[in-house]
Amino acid sequence: MGSYSGARTAVVVGAGVAGLTAATALAREGWRVEIAEIGPPEAASGWGLCLTGPSLRALDELGLADACLAEGYGMSTITHVDVDGELADEVRPPRLIGARRPAMAGIARPALHRVLRREAVACGVTVRHGVTVAAVDDEHEHEGEGEHEAEDEHEADELIRVRLSDGTVRRVALLVGADGIRSATRGLLGLETTPAYHGQMVWRALVPRPSWATGIHQFAGKTDTAGVVPLSDERAYVFLTENGVERNTLPDAELAPRLRDLLEPFPGLVEELRSLVPESEAVVRRPVLTAFLEGAWHRGNGVVIGDAAHAPAPQTASGAALAIEDGLVLAREIGWHETVGAGLEAFADRRTQRCGTLVETSVTVAGLEREQRHHEAYPLVAACHRFMAEPA
Ligand SMILES: Cc1cc2nc3c(=O)[nH]c(=O)nc-3n(C[C@H](O)[C@H](O)[C@H](O)COP(=O)(O)OP(=O)(O)OC[C@H]3O[C@@H](n4cnc5c(N)ncnc54)[C@H](O)[C@@H]3O)c2cc1C
């Protein structure tokens, strides 16, 4: 770590949406922050995501909404189409960052991560790749072992001892586990939850943007659900939720032909989306998993945030919003409290109900989709957006 004399120090595990925004928010509060990311640079997986209003609002608080809009595609409508190809409804989510800017944005994940990382680094955050957390201990068990250790110099805080996979040891005032739904930090802190599978696999294919795709379009099928999200003037991603399937993997070569088969029964505009799949650079297929950490989200001065604490199903497009909000609220609550422990307590108090409600609703939506009860699922997704529009 650098040489900010007297600054409080933090290790953040994971350079995803939650980790990068938390690191930036903490650095702006005067923290010296190091991120340990297990993957290589530019390894953001998935083709893209929708930044809904609450995501844009939280990014705007970090001064990053306009950079994301410039890299992505601003949009303000969600169109739902019935099984027979008829319009079911058109939702216009509230414009949470003002009437002159769009309600949502589609953005490629690598582009979003680039914006977030650029800002983190500009704020003095160190991002190390190919590194993970190997062990976490209460610091008093290791007093006097400080040979290779970098130590926090802030007097008011308890310290937490973090050993990284490259053998370096940090004694810091805060450990943030932002390492996703399969979080290793969560287990090392003794906080346990098991991700649940919901009998659905989600598909994504990056395709040229059809000219009519200027908002999110979702199409109900007899078995599955499909749609398209624009990512830029040139590109969009096609999505499909495959219902009632075993959780398994398919060989890469089978993905594009299989996605075309699954899109085949849909009428209307989906036929055009289907014709674009062979032009896709690649197709990805992932299980729909959810997780929610019941009880404490922190132990001592270690805490988990983002998907590591609460991962909703992708149908509500709200996981990134929750992750970004977490970073902002975490830095703020710690800043307002005398000790890190008290700040973490306040953080969890503020976040548990909002995140729990969202995860629970997303599981209900996934269940309704699985049973082809789209007319019940659509209003629930709209209710989710209204709920998320309330301040974090
Ligand atoms: C298919 C799909 C589509 C989605 N679409 C949307 C959408 O449209 N809108 C939306 O808001 N949300 C969406 N989500 C949810 C959203 O992607 C997540 O909620 C969000 O990415 C969570 O951010 P995170 O930083 O907590 O976790 P992640 O994005 O998973 O980031 C975790 C980071 O930690 C790193 N890491 C993992 N393990 C370790 C380790 N042991 N040590 C160090 N680093 C580690 C990973 O490499 C990664 O960089 C979608 C999810 C899925 C699966």
Predicted TM-score (pTM) of the model is 0.94
Asked whether 177 lines ligand 1 (CB < 6 A), one says no
pLDDT tens figures, 239-276: 999 999 999 999 999 999 999 999 999 999 999 999 99
Q: What is the pLDDT of residue 374?
A: 83
- Which of 254, 255, 273 is CA-nearest to residue 264? 273
DSSP track, 99-155: TTS-SEEEE-HHHHHHHHHHHHHHTT-EEEES--EEEEEEGGGGTT--TTEEE---S
Ligand 1 geometric centre to CA of 389 (Å): 21
Q: Are 205 and 232 in contact (CB under 8 A)?
A: no
Backbone angles phi, psi at 174, to 5 degrees: -155, 130
Asked whether 178 lines ligand 1 (CB < 6 A), one says yes
Residue 243 burial by Cβ neighbours in a 10 Å radius (0-12, 13-18, 19+): buried
Ligand 1 geometric centre to CA of 308 (Å): 9
Protein residue with its CA nearest to atom 3 in ligand 1: 314
**Residue 133 CA, closest ligand 1 atom number:** 42
Containing 353, the helix (H) or strand (E) segment is helix 340-370
pLDDT tens figures, 27-74: 999 999 999 999 998 776 668 999 999 999 999 999 999 999 999 999
Asked whether 321 lines ligand 1 (CB < 6 A), one says yes
What are the structural domains of the chain?
A: 9-72+107-194+290-373 (3.50.50.60)
CA distance 232 to 218: 18
